[in-house]
């Protein structure tokens, strides 16, 4: 890392979190740790970058260069599955605005039914590393966000302030999040450059959050990111 590198410490704490990376159709699952697409999406909302906008196209390539490490501060956080319906019980003539719409236009004939997973009572420390000037802007946006921020879904509202400060070393950022506890006691998910240094690959590197049709030029796009997962050992 260069002299202009900084480390932004973030605390992701909420009753519910949901970090999707492989959801399909009506089954919306969650990973066991924050995804980079979810964290960068949160940052984009705080900075007021509309999906598919020229501002997003200009800023997202730089945000994507930031490397991310997450620390599972809560050692146990069970998954909750919610049986979810949208748009049931409304009259098409008087309340069409509350009914999900078909891709071809017009309200759907039946409610949309899905099963959505959440992590309950989870708490993660996240460290973004990269250009100091960019991270200064990110930290300022998190302290005074343009739009609402949440952890994967709109009902996953933060329980405490997210930004915990900008630091010159990763060790300072870690101490801010876990105090003097040994880092080895926590499960760590870190981004790696070399494939052989990783233990898993996720399609969560945001290329475009898009605002158009799934097959159009402004579709949502994600690249593969290589990560290393290090399980924590028992507390001393």
Residue 5 has pLDDT above 90, yes or no: yes
Q: What is the dihedral of CA 89, 91, 97, 102, to 10 degrees?
A: 80
Residue 91 has pLDDT above 90, yes or no: no
**pLDDT (0 to 100) of residue 132:** 97
**pLDDT (0 to 100) of residue 75:** 86
CATH fold of 5-23+30-74+121-230 reads: Alpha-Beta Plaits (3.30.70)
The more confidently predicted of residues 180 and 100 is 180
**pLDDT (0 to 100) of residue 143:** 96
Radius of gyration of the chain from Cα atoms?
19
In the chain, % helix, strand, coil (3-state, to 5) comes to: 25, 35, 45
Residue 1 has pLDDT above 60, yes or no: no
Range of lowest pLDDT (50-59, 103-112, 152-161)? 103-112
Q: What is the dihedral of CA 123, 124, 125, 126, to 10 degrees?
A: -150
- What lies within 8 Å, CB to CB, of 193 at 6+ separation is 226
- Return the closest-CA partner of residue 158 out of 31, 48, 11: 11
Residue 212 has pLDDT above 60, yes or no: no
- Domain positions in the chain are 5-23+30-74+121-230
- What lies within 8 Å, CB to CB, of 180 at 6+ separation is none
- What lies within 8 Å, CB to CB, of 175 at 6+ separation is none
Helix (H) or strand (E) holding 14: strand 5-17
DSSP structural state of residue 140: H
- What lies within 8 Å, CB to CB, of 96 at 6+ separation is 90, 107
Q: 226 by DSSP, 3-state: which? A: strand
Q: Are 229 and 188 in contact (CB under 8 A)?
A: yes
Residue 59: band (very low, low, confident or very high) from pLDDT cuts 50, 70, 90: very high
């Amino acid at each position: 890392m260069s002299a202009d590198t900084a480390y932004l410490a973030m605390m992701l704490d909420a009753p519910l979190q949901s970090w999707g990376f492989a959801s399909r159709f009506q089954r919306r699952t969650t990973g066991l740790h924050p995804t980079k697409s979810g964290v960068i999406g949160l940052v984009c909302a705080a900075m007021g970058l509309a999906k598919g906008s020229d501002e997003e196209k200009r800023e997202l390539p730089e945000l994507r260069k930031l490397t991310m490490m997450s620390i599972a501060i809560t050692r146990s956080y069970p998954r909750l599955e919610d049986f979810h319906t949208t748009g049931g019980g409304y009259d098409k003539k008087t309340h069409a605005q509350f009914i999900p719409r078909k891709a071809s236009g017009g309200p759907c004939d039946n409610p949309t039914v899905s099963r959505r997973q959440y992590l309950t009572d989870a708490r993660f420390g996240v460290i973004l590393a990269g250009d100091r000037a960019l991270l200064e802007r990110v930290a300022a946006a998190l302290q005074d966000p343009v739009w609402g921020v949440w952890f994967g879904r709109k009902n996953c509202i933060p329980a405490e302030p997210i930004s915990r400060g900008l630091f010159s070393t990763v060790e300072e950022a870690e101490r801010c999040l876990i105090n003097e506890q040994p880092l080895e006691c926590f499960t760590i998910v870190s981004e790696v450059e070399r494939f052989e240094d990783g233990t898993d690959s996720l399609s969560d590197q945001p290329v475009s959050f898009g605002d158009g049709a799934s097959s159009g030029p402004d579709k949502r796009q994600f690249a593969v990111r290589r990560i290393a997962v290090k399980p924590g050992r028992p507390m001393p």
